Structure 1
Amino acid sequence: MNREPIFNVPGAVLATLAVLVAVHVVMRFLGPEDFTWWLLALAFIPARYSGMANELPGGDVSSVTSLVTHMLVHADLTHLIFNSAWLLAFGTVLCARIGGVRFLAFSMAGGISGALLFLVFNPGLLAPVIGASGAISAMMGGVMRFLFAALDRGEGYLLRERPSAIPMMTLKETLQDRRIVLASAAFLAINLLALIGFGKFGEAGDIAWEAHVGGYLFGLFALGAFERAPQNEPPSPTELD
């Protein structure tokens, strides 16, 4: 008898996880000066866009590349492990639904959206923003569009076996669903606790709540743009056996 594996992680998710780990390991082998230079060159720093780009490592090039590269760097092992766990939880389901290429594009767009919202709230800030949390928050927001649809139909098993068979809520249905509204409000509230100092990851410092919220809202509103045409078809009786 064929058995579904307990863990069935798509290749794009494993590749993303491998890159995050590899970057973290390489950074830890750098000397203090090189570590600081690369950290600042890869990090998203709002001050780059306030006339300080040439005074920071990476110069004008990092003003563009750091929108993506900041997602690859983590402050410490705790930060990396936390984000990796959520990547496996939400990224696996989302990638199985929309495919590897769309998943990577969605994740990058979510992380960029988070960075841009951080910039809106913190123009000119010199502090670096690092970590994949914005992209992972986008994955959470995206999964919200079909999570409760699966549970309502008694097909929660499809989240593991075939997420693409779950109908996606329309944006109107999403915004009117009390459970999603409450979950989103709770997510926002948890992140806003960072304003009073809640939320530390070892050496990582404060939570960039703006990046989390920006990523989450992107995922919630934009998942439909990344859907594949054949999706949301009900599984055949054979597949249900």
Structure 2
Amino acid sequence: MIPISDDNPTLRTPVVTYLLLGAILFTWVVIQGAGLDEVKLAESLCSFALVPAKLAGLLPAGSILKLGDGLSCGITDPVLDKLTPLTSMFLHGGWMHLIGNCLFFWVFGNNVEDSMGRFRFLVFYLACGLAAAGAHVLVDPTSTVPTVGASGAISGIMGAYLVLYPRVRVNLLFVIFIFIRIIPVPAWAVLLWWFAVQVISGLPQLMSMQEVEVSGGVAVWAHVGGFVAGVVLIKLFQNPRYTTQRASWRHRLHPDHP
């Protein structure tokens, strides 16, 4: 199931959504070499990825962090280490990771921005990303696995969308062998299902206290933390005037739709 669009047009151009997507793509291509240069990709992880144990001060200067495929980097304790909860939001580990995050952001981000205004949306996005990073570190502060991706912040966007537009239809692309079909599904069903999958996937990690990334290479508790932050913070960040305008406009466009 892949969300590709929603039946929820915007009143204003989602400038910040475009800028954040641009920043993510710029980082991937320019700083990470679009994944085509293993050394450049590894250097970006060493410098800007979130490593819980490093952030928590559990890796002393001089420690070696293994990245796989014979690559590693040394721990020097620069000031940038304290900024990695922020910088890691703009990094990705591969093309599929990047495309998946950008697609979810594209589908859900513009409407949340349209309900807040641009500056509020930017602060909200960063706050959810930081909350996701905090949840990730809290679950396993000893992890030495570099964590990257915008998915924690985007999870916050999805949590906000659930509160704001639970009954809006989200168009899902279903691909099962040769069966391909687009099916509209209420947003609440899509988002609660996604959230449930994250929680269920993460439960064995809590029970066994294994490293967070054991769930198929995905830091699911960062997703959970970001989503919960979005649900909690949305009422603080939404602009009531904008949400009222949107509700009125949607009703005029689709009087028979929820």
Pairwise same-fold verdict (TM > 0.5): yes
Superposed displacement of residue 43, structure 1: 0.7
1:103-145 superposed Cα distances (whole Å, 9 cap, x missing partner)? 1111111111111111111111110110000000000000111
Structure 2: any 5+ residue segments left out of the alignment? Answer: 1-8, 63-73, 171-186, 206-215, 254-258
In structure 2, the residue matched to 1:101 is 119
Structure 1: any 5+ residue segments left out of the alignment? Answer: 160-178, 198-204
**1 or 2, which has the higher helix percentage?**
1
In structure 2, the residue matched to 1:230 is 241
**Cα distance change, pair 107–133 in 1 and its aligned pair in 2 (3 A):** same
**Cα distance change, pair 36–7 in 1 and its aligned pair in 2 (3 A):** farther
Length-normalised TM-score, structure 1: 0.72
Length-normalised TM-score, structure 2: 0.68
Aligned AA for 1:12?
V
Superposed displacement of residue 229, structure 1: 5.0
Aligned AA for 2:218?
I
Aligned length: 203
Q: Do residues 193 (structure 1) and 201 (structure 2) align?
A: yes
**Cα distance change, pair 32–77 in 1 and its aligned pair in 2 (3 A):** closer
Aligned AA for 2:104?
W
Q: How does 1:1-241 map to 2 (within 5 A)?
A: 10-26=14-30, 27-28=32-33, 32-48=38-54, 49-52=56-59, 54-55=61-62, 56=74, 59-148=77-166, 151=167, 156=168, 186-191=193-198, 192-193=200-201, 206-228=217-239, 230-233=241-244, 240=252
**Cα distance change, pair 227–189 in 1 and its aligned pair in 2 (3 A):** closer
**Cα distance change, pair 213–92 in 1 and its aligned pair in 2 (3 A):** same
Q: Measure, in 1, the Cα distance between the counterparts of 2:42 and 2:12.
A: 37
**1 or 2, which has the higher strand percentage?**
2
Superposed displacement of residue 240, structure 1: 3.7
**Cα distance change, pair 25–53 in 1 and its aligned pair in 2 (3 A):** farther
- Quick one: percent identity of the two aligned structures? 25
RMSD of Structure 2 on Structure 1 (CA): 3.4
Q: Measure, in 1, the Cα distance between the counterparts of 2:97 and 2:79.
A: 26
**Cα distance change, pair 104–183 in 1 and its aligned pair in 2 (3 A):** same
